Amino acid sequence: MAYQVTARKWRPMRFSDMVGQEHIARTLRNAIITGRIAHAYLFVGPRGIGKTTSARIFAKALNCEHPIDGEPCCQCRSCKSIADESNVDIIEIDAATHTQVDKAREICEDVLHLPIASKYKIYIIDEVHMLSKSAWNALLKTIEEPPAHAKFIFATTEVNKVLPTVISRCQRFDLKRIPSDLIAKRLAYIAGEEKIRISEAALNVIARAADGGMRDAQSLLDQLVSFFGTDQQQEITEEQALTLFGMTSPGEMIDLVRSILDDDRKNVILNIHRFAQQGKNLESLYEEVLAWLRGIMLSLILPDPEKVLDENPERVADYKNLAQGRKSGIVQTLLEKLSESSYLLRESINKQVFIETIMLKSMRAAHSIPIESLIVRLNQIRRTGELAGIEKVPSLASVPLEKTAPAPAPVSPEAPAAPVAPAQENVPASAEKKTSDPVEKIPPAEEKSLVPPPPAEKEKEAKEPPAVKEREPVPQEKLPEEVPPAPVSAPKQEDIAEEKTEEKLPAEELSSAPSPVPASSEAPAEEENGEKLFFSGEEKDHPQKIWEALSQTARKAKKITLAELMLLGVPQKIEKGELVVAFDQEYGETALAAVCGEIRYLMDRLSEISPLSEFRFLRVPGIRAFTGATKEKALSELKKEVAPNETVKMASALFEGKVVDVLENTENEQTY
């Protein structure tokens, strides 16, 4: 007898022989027992799970001369003729080959003839989704109202391509993928009957590679036996099966998946390189990683994941061991990032580079602290008042720099006295202390009294330019940093008249009245609360303090939202007369849009408090924008620089995270 492949030789002959499709077998068997037989059936499911086999068994049972409890006897003339495909009343048609309307018309004519040697004339049409629309239209009436002796059985792998009018005329049966353990048991039975020596682990490898299809599993068994089964005394091992199918052993997968979960980039790259060197199928490797991550996630969510997972108990135990101590959020993020890029793997030229890139990108996203968690934690801190004392911490603008400002220039005895701003009632006690410079404390009476220069000095001013008196330094605690004094021009006659009028105001009103504005544009402007706003000297090169002063100005102008969003910007430097500010490329777009919407207001305020008048905004990816770090620094050095930061330590402790990456990108810029 000619050799037959395993898939044909061991095709089920009865409903009881079907594996993994018991719901279909029971329904069809009960229909035969009760005599409630429909005129058309539609079997739907993926390849190799028994659609055509179920149709043949059903046809055999319908025409069997001596059925036993709905099962065909397989001994009568009808059953034997159907088994050897010689029965003229069982017509099998491949719709992928006969797609035109002519074949459909032949069926419509032939269905009118009575069966020759059987009870029913049965038409089994495989891959019916390949029929053309005109062919379906020709069959519609016949399928809806066929003769009593005719039955139709359709099979398809893509039911979405079948016309809804056809589906409504049939009884639909959905066949499901066969579990791996049932495939392994069936293969073990076949191997025993065929005297094939093969290990149980190798059978499990075949069952996994078959992906739920019994026909594929039997074909793989034939391939494995042909390759390694020449020696009848030698058992086929798991390693041989893995080598032939390009799959990965459980031990190697555990090492790779653990490295992914532990954010061990070095080991992940080495594992992928080793698999590529061994000739492993990288597409299968990618799918296996997804399957392992899914098993780990279900082990974290479900108390009994084996009810959902189509895996053997040993594999489920591996999933549970890897899931111990893991966070479901990390595993879920890895699954999302990897699964959304899986379709691109088939089209990539260099699959190893693609897998390495996607793995590293997914790991970085999974092990970073999500912005949602930061917002939730910040809201929790605000509600519980854990950082209630943060208001007592001085801002960066009030902390002096380490550099010492140059000593003030000597005061010219001939220069007129510069106007002094009124004293504030809420001046801190630290402001009353003397600095290292010899500055005399001005009595309150002298601060309120604005005396014009004597007439002799007025005549002198008319003849020659007035001598400019250097402004006396303000105490160090009141300044953002120590700055050299700026020249002050003498007051004009109109200002003197206004000053005389202010002399008559009560003390309470005088304390809140605005101070006189110097005529020169270079003079330092002071707000009513005594805070210094004009930056000069070394301060004009300090972008952080200028940006904070702008935020304070916006807050005092009742632009609270703008002031809050400005805090998301990170001042970088001052370059070519521009204040360079960076915003996060992903989470800082809202803040950047708000700042750009108020750009005219900010440019006016910038020119008032500093010699600058323009902005340049950068979009920088990543949580942290570089401030002062050079591009030449290596990533390891940047991590070492970031790790000791107190804010980073606090965030890492709160969220149990760690520094994953530090990025810099200044490609996206916007200048005003």
Given its phi and psi angles, is residue 85 left (phi above 0), alpha (psi -120 to 50 degrees) or beta? Answer: left
Least confident of 63-72, 82-91, 299-308, 557-566: 557-566
- Per-residue pLDDT at 289 exceeds 90: yes
Over 60: is that where the pLDDT of 491 sits?
no
**Same-domain status, 509 and 617:** no
**Residue range 504-530: mean pLDDT, rounded:** 38
Inter-helix orientation angle 250-261/313-323, to 10° = 20
375 domain-assigned = no
Please report, as a single letter, which amino acid is at residue 109.
Answer: E
Task: Identify the residue with better confidence: 172 or 491.
Answer: 172
Residues 620 and 559 in one domain: yes
Mean pLDDT throughout 185-195?
89
- Structural domain ending residue among the three candidates 492, 509, 530: 530
670, β-bridge pairs: 617
Query: DSSP letters along 231-277, please?
Result: -TTSPBPHHHHHHHHT---HHHHHHHHHHHHTT-HHHHHHHHHHHHH
* Average pLDDT estimate for 197-211: 87
466 plus 573 within the same structural domain: no
Check whether residue 62 and residue 161 sit in a common domain.
yes
CA distance 399 to 482: 10
- The verdict on residue 356 lying in a domain is yes
| Listed residue (250, 253, 231, 228) closest to 241, CA to CA | 228
Q: What is the CATH number of the domain that holds 310?
A: 1.20.272.10
Say if residues 143 and 152 touch (Cβ distance below 8 Å).
yes
Tell me if 561 is assigned to some domain: yes
Position with higher pLDDT, 89 vs 544: 89
Question: Structural domain of residue 475, as residue ranges?
Answer: 418-424+440-530
Residue 404 lies in a domain: no
Sheet holding 90-94, edge to edge: 90-94, 121-126, 150-156, 40-44, 171-174
Same domain, 135 and 214: no
Q: Are residues 605 and 639 in the same domain?
A: yes
Average pLDDT, integer, range 506-525: 37
Residues 224 and 304 both lie in one domain: no
The overall pTM is greater than 0.75: no
Which pLDDT score is estimated for 672? 52
- Which residues 6+ apart lie within 8 Å of 76 measured at CB? 64, 65, 66
- Kindly report which listed range (36-45, 183-192, 313-322, 424-433) carries the lowest average pLDDT score: 424-433
Residue 92 lies in a domain: yes
Same domain as 342, residue 254: yes
Instruction: Give the other-Cβ count within 10 Å of 8's Cβ.
Output: 9
Within 10 angstroms of residue 155's Cβ, the number of other Cβ atoms is 24
Predicted confidence band of residue 457 (pLDDT cuts 50, 70, 90): very low
The predicted pLDDT at position 322 comes to 92
pLDDT at 667 over 70: no
H or E segment at 547? helix 543-556
Are residue 322 and residue 453 in the same domain, yes or no?
A: no
Based on the fold, state whether residues 165 and 226 are members of the same structural domain.
no
pLDDT of residue 4: 81
Q: According to the model, what pLDDT value does residue 269 have?
A: 94
**What pLDDT was estimated at residue 446?**
40
Q: Is 79 found in the same domain as 206?
A: no
Mean pLDDT of 211-222: 88
Domain boundary among 512, 530, 548: 530
Residue 661 lies inside a defined structural domain of this protein: yes
Is the pLDDT assigned to residue 602 strictly greater than 50? yes
The rounded mean pLDDT for the chain is 75
CATH classification at residue 215: 1.10.8.60
Taking only the tens place, the pLDDT of each residue in 293-312 is 999 999 999 988 888 887 77
Residue 159 and residue 10 share a domain: yes
Does any domain span residue 380? no
Count of domains observed in the chain? 5
| % of the chain surpassing 90 pLDDT | 18
Query: How many residues are recorded in the chain?
Result: 672
**Last-in-domain residue among 349, 367, 385:** 367
Answer whether residue 605 is part of any domain. Answer: yes
pLDDT, average across residues 483-492:
41
Q: What is the pLDDT of residues 360-403, one digit of tens each?
A: 999 998 888 878 778 887 887 777 777 666 666 666 666 665 55
Q: What is the pLDDT of residue 400?
A: 64
Once rounded to an integer, what is the mean pLDDT over residues 474-490? 40
pLDDT band for position 472 (50/70/90)? very low
